Amino acid sequence: MAISKWMIYGANGYTGELIARRAVSRGQKPVLAGRSESRIAELAKELRLEYKVFDLKDPEEIAKNIRSFQLVLHCAGPFVLTSEPMAKACIAEKVHYLDITGEIPVYESLQKLGKDAEKAGVLLLPGVGFDIVPTDCLASSLKKSLPNAKGLELAFVGLSEVSPGTMKSALAQLPYGSKARRNGEMVVLPHLSTSREVQAGGRSYKVFGIPWGDVFTAYISTGIPNIDVYTDIPESQVKALRYMKPALSLLKVPFVLKAVQALVGKTIKGPGESVRTNTMTTVWGEVRTEDGKRSNRILECKEGYEFTIESSLAAVSKVLAGKGGKGFKTPSLAFGADFVLEIPGSKWTNLPN
């Protein structure tokens, strides 16, 4: 194929639109796609791009619309519902699949498709944004510094506001508890049951365990059997979560979840440009051996959504250039632990042990 042809599916969403606009500003011409014809058509007209409108209910319809493309960057959530239909179609049509998810169930389902993808010569690369790229690359670099590490802890602090899609995904996972790795196995923990203090950026933070995708991906990338992932949570949100705990199981009821998600869609807009461009995020990591040796490192990077724009476009460019391999991969397995340092604004610092 003489011209690289790729698609952003979910380009009408908060993050998908940001990626589309940045791509166009750099002379790229992705095809925009999604389920909302009015919104996709309007954005495509403004950006002078081709577009397609289709949903993900019919495998044949998906296949027909992605046929002849080299790559799909999947940005339409909730990924726990949308990722597998798109990934299966990509495998069938020999189209590389990338997405920006952070949901553990998505990684689990896509990993199961890994052998089929490898046979088809297709790369399945979920999580090409924040926070997976920073934590995955940091975890891999720490593993290299201490190859016999048996424990890994990761934390990120300084997050800005969240987008509607991120909040909707979080709500769907909320009633199922927090997650960690113990002896290589995923375990469920009560929310707010694990916490610690971390020193980052000259400040001390109290961080709490969270059920984000890093618990899954860091194990795949490093093989370290015991993993905890944390973030700082405002005191008001900690109190609210503790108060809401008895009612969280209601979010397992589909109509209740949809109603709450609809409310989120109307009330949350995501961070504005000034927040995205003026905020930095810090990721802290530590590995340890059974005999007490430790290695610590801090990664500083752009605000989460700004980072996602840059890292997803960097990943797209690499895959279109034939890099990343085939089958199911994490970012560091596809591009190496230093991939994060290719994203503008990223740097890491070793800490005294």
Kindly write down the DSSP assignment for every residue of 28-47, as one continuous string.
--PEEEES-HHHHHHHHHHH
Tell me, yes or no, whether 140 and 285 share the same domain: yes
CATH number for the domain that contains residue 40: 3.40.50.720
329 occurs within a structural domain: no
> What is the C-alpha to C-alpha distance for residues 267 and 206, in angstroms, rounded to an integer?
28
Tell me, yes or no, whether 189 and 222 share the same domain: yes
State residue 4's pLDDT score: 61
Tell me, yes or no, whether 142 and 249 share the same domain: yes
User: Is residue 160 classed exposed, middle or buried when 0-12, 13-18 and 19+ CB atoms within 10 A define those classes?
Assistant: middle
Cα Rg, the chain, nearest whole Å: 20
* HEC profile of 51-94: EEECCCCCHHHHHHHHCCCCEEEECCCCHHHHHHHHHHHHHHHC
pLDDT in tens, the chain (353 residues): 334 699 999 999 999 999 999 999 999 999 999 999 999 999 999 999 999 999 999 999 999 999 999 999 999 988 999 999 999 999 999 999 999 999 999 999 999 999 999 999 999 999 999 989 999 999 999 999 999 999 999 999 877 667 667 777 777 777 778 999 999 999 999 988 999 999 877 788 899 999 989 999 999 999 999 999 999 887 777 777 776 777 778 778 888 878 877 776 677 777 788 778 878 899 999 999 999 999 999 999 999 999 999 999 999 999 999 999 999 999 999 999 999 999 999 999 877 76
1 occurs within a structural domain: no
Tell me, yes or no, whether 158 and 294 share the same domain: yes
State residue 302's pLDDT score: 93
Q: How remote is the C-alpha of 270 from its chain's centroid?
A: 16
* Domain boundary residue, one of 127, 144, 159: 127
DSSP tag of 315: H
337 occurs within a structural domain: no
* Domain boundary residue, one of 107, 127, 147: 127
State residue 79's pLDDT score: 93
Tell me, yes or no, whether 79 and 140 share the same domain: no
Tell me, yes or no, whether 70 and 164 share the same domain: no
- The amino acid at 224: I
> Which residue do the tokens 């009408």 mark?
12
314 occurs within a structural domain: no
Q: Which of helix, strand or coil describes residue 102? A: coil
Tell me, yes or no, whether 65 and 178 share the same domain: no
322 occurs within a structural domain: no
Tell me, yes or no, whether 118 and 172 share the same domain: no
State residue 163's pLDDT score: 65
Q: Side-chain half-sphere of 286: how many Cα atoms within 13 Å? A: 17
| Full strand arrangement of the beta sheet holding 71-74 | 51-53, 31-34, 6-9, 71-74, 96-99, 123-125, 327-328
140 occurs within a structural domain: yes
User: Is residue 259 classed exposed, middle or buried when 0-12, 13-18 and 19+ CB atoms within 10 A define those classes?
Assistant: exposed
327 occurs within a structural domain: no
Q: Which helix (H) or strand (E) holds 348?
A: strand 347-351
Of 10, 177, 6, 162, the residue nearest 81 (C-alpha): 10
> Which structural domain range is residue 100 located in?
6-127
CATH number for the domain that contains residue 250: 3.30.360.10
> What is the C-alpha to C-alpha distance for residues 74 and 83, in angstroms, rounded to an integer?
8
Tell me, yes or no, whether 141 and 111 share the same domain: no
Tell me, yes or no, whether 180 and 288 share the same domain: yes
336 occurs within a structural domain: no
Tell me, yes or no, whether 10 and 89 share the same domain: yes
Torsion angles phi and psi, residue 51, rounded to 5: -150, 160
> What is the C-alpha to C-alpha distance for residues 275 and 258, in angstroms, rounded to an integer?
29
Angle (nearest 5°) at CA 24 between 18 and 29: 115
Total domains present in the chain: 2
Tell me, yes or no, whether 122 and 208 share the same domain: no
* Domain boundary residue, one of 127, 159, 182: 127
Number of helices and strands in the chain (H, E): 14, 16
Contact, 40 vs 61, CB < 8 A?
no
